[in-house]
Amino acid sequence: MLEYSQKLPSPTDLKDIIKAEGSNNSCNIIRAIVEVKIKSVKRKRIDITLSENVIKEIDSVSRNRSKFIEDASMYYIHEYLRKS
């Protein structure tokens, strides 16, 4: 969620979850406690040169060029590493 600039919801107290389970007639409930490590991301401004055609294509699918380029770069890196 943080990657997409969405706010994280406030945590729900485990006691409240257990209490809510008691009022629910469904037996398909899974209770889990998950530890999440959030790494701090420091951003750095850079200047790049792209062809106008590439910029138009990016603008046609995204309102945030920086985010698009970052996501595309990370996808490429993950795919490259997966194939290595």
Length of the chain, in residues: 84
| Structural domain containing residue 44 | 2-83
Distance CA 41, CA 76 (A): 19
Given a cut of 90, whether residue 83 has pLDDT beyond it is: no
pLDDT tens-digit map of 10-67 = 877 878 877 776 666 555 666 677 777 777 788 899 999 999 999 999 999 999 999 9
What is the predicted pLDDT for the residue at 26?
A: 57
What is the predicted pLDDT for the residue at 45?
A: 94
Distance CA 23, CA 1 (A): 30
Number of domains the chain contains = 1
